[in-house]
Amino acid sequence: SHFIKRVRSNIHMCLCMSPGNEVFNSRLRNFPSLVNNCTIDFFAEWPEEALKSVAFSALESTDLRDDATKNGIVAMCGKIHQSVEHASARYLEEQRRYNYVTPTSYLEVLSTFKTLLALKRE
């Protein structure tokens, strides 16, 4: 009893769902406590400056030889992410299918870049 009480008062959960599809709306209808007892945070697309800032931070410890190279890589990562967002929007219009492009996918691209660069340099 005491354990259950402590768990209920201390448990935190994070549910990640896209608000742009019917599954999210269905979950809210079927489980009204999600609206009544939870905080819902919506994250919009990151602007170009945010993409650059995140890339600079993620690549800070990576030796990219000079600032011009680092600036080029940071700009390229942001442009690629934005182009995938635009391509995904066209894909939805043309095929009626979703391709989710999230901040997490951007962070994964940066992490993969760092991993591949390290492997290439070995």
- The domains found in the chain, sorted by start residue, are 1-42 (no CATH), 45-122 (1.20.920.20)
Per-residue pLDDT tens over the stretch 65-87: 899 999 999 999 999 999 999 99
pTM of the complete model? 0.68
**Can you give 10-56 as a three-state secondary structure string?**
HCCCCCCCCCCCHHHHHHHHHCCHHHHCCCCCCCCCCCHHHHHHHHH
Helix (H, G, I), strand (E, B) or coil at 102: coil
**What is the structure's pLDDT at 120?**
95
Per-residue pLDDT tens over the stretch 50-59: 999 999 999 9
Mean pLDDT of the 85-104 span: 92
